[in-house]
Structure 1
């Protein structure tokens, strides 16, 4: 507690000094012909002081003197202080005195962007089921405000981008909310949530490009290429149908993976198994279920544990066990896309199976050499 008090005092003294210095500067400037500068220092004072307070709270939250829960509260307090500082700076800044009053119309939208960023940062501090919700809300606020800013810019191109930005933000918000599925106890649902989370940025970009095309670029294209008017709707329907089918088939086969995709892998492995591994030896028979799990599902855990146990029974040295297991421990599985047609998934799974069979062959060969 004593150390914590010292830390707080250490950060508080500079804040008090800076407040006093800023106050003196404002008083002195008001007595000169540069009074307009006083407004700038007045606005900056809010930003500087609250930034220092935020840094103090952040420093204390990261120290070992407070509990994890208190640290989170202080972290949120730090973010809040930064946001308030920026809002006060933007709201009190002397735009008219500096003859930049045209920027004032953007202030409210910039403030919403600041708040949205703060909401996302709070989600990062909490790191819980609330994180996707806060990220979704914060992201939407940022996209929405940015779209409003573009509408206020007296440029046709900027105005045309505004709706696309708004709809992209909506897609981002929805996709981010869908990452709540990662908290599901169902493996397939959680995997789908992680898959979406990893690609939220990419899908948001796609949404922006598609909406920009539909709401702006399409009209330009048709006006300049009148002969395409008859074909563009057909092309669009084709693309939409293709992607809807791919998404639907991808999600369906993800949840029916065992019956639609892996069944082919299992059947092919049954054909290859006698040529890859002979289970005549007792120790190999004990590894069979682990080998099957690895070849079909890519699960190295079961096989690794069984190999360690088997080799330990035969008094194999640890350094030799490590060499034997190296192909398994260094194995990195290629990700199978969820949003893809089943034929593409089958192709990837078959490639993975062949790769795993080669690994199994190498591992069994090394084990046999040690057994001899």
Structure 2
């Protein structure tokens, strides 16, 4: 979708042109930095070949409602509109307002046309894309009053909800990709060397990591709410919820294993293996979740393009390093098993000694 603006002192002409292989069902232009409360102009071709122009507003990222009293009335320019072309062109005019060099605009397009030719028809989700930008139309103000076209544009500053998304990602990465693996490596590498390994493991996994998990989850929910989006409506959001729940389940299981022990156990309980497998599963899911966040979800939500390659390089390095460190710790398993066997034998001897001490002599 290409957008051109032609500006003079009293009116501005906007021309929306389809681009790409898919013919849009509708195209929309809004005035503002985000969909919430932005005046929008939506145009589409109806079944009879005519063109419908609808001015709307919305409280968020939801179905926009017709604006019956817009501050600036948009008028379709039928002479400059070509709805039947393979690449439709829709042109409309609105009264000029604000700084021509700093027009903050949003756009959207969908593959499906609205249900009917009424200006208050229900429109479909903008599956062909959406975004925001700043249009610099200052060069279109000619001295002789004859306007010239311009496509000059630049990206808008980050919206508040986009800043929350970035903060959500930072807290999530620190919690799931840094702190949780560190806690797991402490348990794997230090348990055969120092007696205080569990205190460090528990402190990292719960007391230090917990605030990051709660803040990351809260920021994600707040960003969706602020943007007017839907909660847990795609794979990334549902996976994030699952990881949040699994984290607390893992902490609870770890507490049960450590604080509720059978004094007569003769082998490693099954829940210990479940705890280890669940922990590795959580970290594996978190690794995949982080990649889907920066590689897919960010551009899908903001239309600002993919993040820099440096993020992907750091992800790859950490994904390679983590398994190597953990596999290195597996070489300590024979030593761990020997220590556990010796501890069991010591408990059994101590139990036998206590039993003999409590036996009454025959009379």
Fold-level similarity (TM above 0.5) = no
- Bigger strand fraction: 2
TM-score range normalised by the length of the shorter chain: under 0.3
- Bigger helix fraction: 1
TM-score, L = length of structure 2: 0.23
